[in-house]
Amino acid sequence: MKMKFLAQNKFAKTAIIGFATIGLVVGLSPTIAQAATDAPAAVQPDKEYFKKLGWDIEANSSPDMACSDTSLKRVMSRGLKLGIYQDIPFFNIQSGKETTGVDWDINMAVAKYLGIKNVKSVVLQWPEMVPSLLSKKIDIIGGNIHGNPDRYKNFAFTAPAWWYATVVVAQKGNPKGIKAWADLTKPGIKLGVVAGTQASAWAKDAKIADVSQFTTGALQFAALAAGRIDAVVEAEPPSVVFITENPKAEVQILKGMKDVPSAVWANYARYGTRFQDCTLNMAYSRALGELIMHGVIGRILEKHGFAASENIFEPEHNPSF
């Protein structure tokens, strides 16, 4: 039986999906962040044109395709340093055992497609991911990451890999009566987020007064179950995993939440590269497009309990809906 991960907290809207599919095939979607090189050729999409087709392109999210760097050649010869972290179902890292997880399998498939023989895992806490990328401790943020204005200023993104929602998890019975995202900003609500995440950035921008920052999802869920906080904002997959594996924990995902902020309605899950590593980014992105269109990523998702029909496209772009 497949576990259902798709959050039903955003109403469906009519959209044309052909252009999203084409972008995934070629692996050069305008959602890739800018990758500065010595000969910049940043794509400047016609935003008004695409807006009429249901796609609001984010500012500064377009790629530089004039690659003249040697980053792909470097990882082919020296190996790829992949940043990973413990968070099931994305990664399950256990001493003495082979690492598993959705993003682990996708990154391994990309490496196999590109012919990268040596992949070096660098285990980090999530808040360390971006600093480790910028300091060249890693070459790729292997834990999937979503774009936002601050991130677009600091590093580049690959093409989309897959999709999932962001949810609010509260104590069972919803004693605080949280029915809309705006309720999280009210006085008296103690919110938990993982540091360095999209949820953390949203909580700061929303000026939420009482926010606890955690280094891992496991720690924030433990705090919620113990009643030290009232709610957490988290990716849906690890939320479902926690509830499934801890049936005695008195927590629940809140359904039907109104007015989901665009800042936390998680867009496509992608991976991170440095701006200057343009050839690596373009190769990674092409590989992801090929893996999606040939069903490889769909089969990886199904292996880990997802429904490929629901977790490749955002709901409004999903041909199955």
d(CA 71, CA 60): 22
Helix (H, G, I), strand (E, B) or coil at 302: helix
Give whole-number Cα distances, 181 to 169, 232, 283, in Å: 12, 11, 38
pLDDT value of residue 3: 58
Determine what percent of the chain is predicted with pLDDT higher than 90.
68
Mean pLDDT of 70-91: 97
Structure tokens at 129: 């991911």
pLDDT value of residue 49: 92
Domains within the chain, CATH numbers bracketed: 18-163+268-317 (3.40.190.10), 166-253 (3.40.190.10)
pLDDT value of residue 21: 40
Q: Helices 278-293 & 102-114, crossing angle to 10 degrees?
A: 110
Q: Give the tens place of pLDDT for each residue, 259-269.
A: 888 777 657 89
d(CA 108, CA 104): 6
Contact 220, 192 (CB under 8 A): yes
pTM value is: 0.81
Beta bridge partners of 234: 167
Cis peptide upstream of residue 238 (ω within 30 degrees of 0): no
Helix (H, G, I), strand (E, B) or coil at 59: coil
| DSSP code per residue over 175-212 | TT---BGGGGGSTT--EEEETTSHHHHHHHHTT-SSEE
Q: Give the tens place of pLDDT for each residue, 146-202.
A: 988 889 999 999 999 999 989 999 999 999 999 999 999 999 999 999 999 989 999
Q: Give the tens place of pLDDT for each residue, 244-283.
A: 999 999 999 999 888 888 777 657 899 999 999 999 999 9
Tell whether the model's pLDDT for residue 18 goes beyond 90. Answer: no
Mean pLDDT of 24-40: 41
Tell whether the model's pLDDT for residue 92 goes beyond 90. Answer: yes
The amino acid occupying position 258 is K
32 band by pLDDT with thresholds 50, 70 and 90: very low
pLDDT value of residue 56: 84
